[in-house]
Amino acid sequence: MSVWAVLAAAGSGERLGLDRPKSFAPLGGRPLLAEPLERLEASSWIDAIVVAAPPGWEEPSILLAEEVGAGKVVSCVTGGATRSESVRAAVAEVAPDASVILVHDAARPLLDDAVVERVLKPLAEGFHGAVPGLPLADTVKRARAGEVVETLERADLFAVQTPQAFLADWLRTALGGDVAGATDCAALVEEAGGRVAVVPGDRRLVKVTEPADLELVEALLGREGGGNPV
């Protein structure tokens, strides 16, 4: 089984308010992108990596991959206008004989190999995709024009993260259609009729969106470095 990782790193990260894309925001004294690159490189599950870089940041992304010794990076493509378009551009560079594609957001730097293992397992059990999910602490309601329409059954709901794993053919087919509006790849595979498993997520896979998220990830990273369990 050959597993390729696609790292979606092409977001602008406007909400961070920096002069550079989110993937190059400082984290632990180096660009954020270094962290997920290094972790995918170190994963025994991953054979090759394709990076979707922010337009104009392809060269710095390649240099960074070299700097952290990420020799599994075989290609760095220019990202698209949306996450799905960036993933589509990167998937086009995946070898035709790859059997599994793992899609990960660079904005979730603290990737643990145990999560990679968890999302790969269902693919050997009849599922076409698998996502890590966290149970919700809050009650979720559907509302329209300021009025509650429905209270959803909390036990059925999950906050879904990346990495997400897919049988390569299913992801390719799913990305072949209209990807506008999809906030994750699993939604596209579900729409194409695929069965997607949900496995336990990881609270350290915080998505960096606001400056406070960057501080949180920095603190979690510091604790990892100090050897204290988070």
Binding site residues, ligand C5P, CB under 6 A: 8-11, 22-23, 52, 79-83, 86, 105-107, 207, 209
Q: Could you tell me the smallest distance in angstroms from the CB atom of residue 13 to ligand C5P?
A: 7
Q: Which residue is nearest to ligand C5P (CB)?
A: 11
Asked whether 9 and 61 are in contact (CB, 8 A), the reply is yes
The amino acid that residue 166 corresponds to is F
Q: Could you tell me the smallest distance in angstroms from the CB atom of residue 182 to ligand C5P?
A: 11
Q: Going by C-beta distance under 8 Å and a sequence separation of 6 or more, which residues neighbour residue 140?
A: 151, 152, 154, 157
Give the nearer residue to ligand C5P in terms of CB position, either 37 or 127.
Answer: 37
Q: Could you tell me the smallest distance in angstroms from the CB atom of residue 14 to ligand C5P?
A: 9
Give the nearer residue to ligand C5P in terms of CB position, either 127 or 184.
Answer: 184
End-to-end CA distance of the chain: 32
The H or E element containing residue 144 is strand 141-144
Give the nearer residue to ligand C5P in terms of CB position, either 27 or 127.
Answer: 27
Cα angle, residue 200 at apex, residues 220 and 2 outer, rounded to 5°:
95
Task: Give me the residues paired with residue 31 across strands.
Answer: 26
Q: Could you tell me the smallest distance in angstroms from the CB atom of residue 207 to ligand C5P?
A: 6
Give the nearer residue to ligand C5P in terms of CB position, either 110 or 127.
Answer: 110
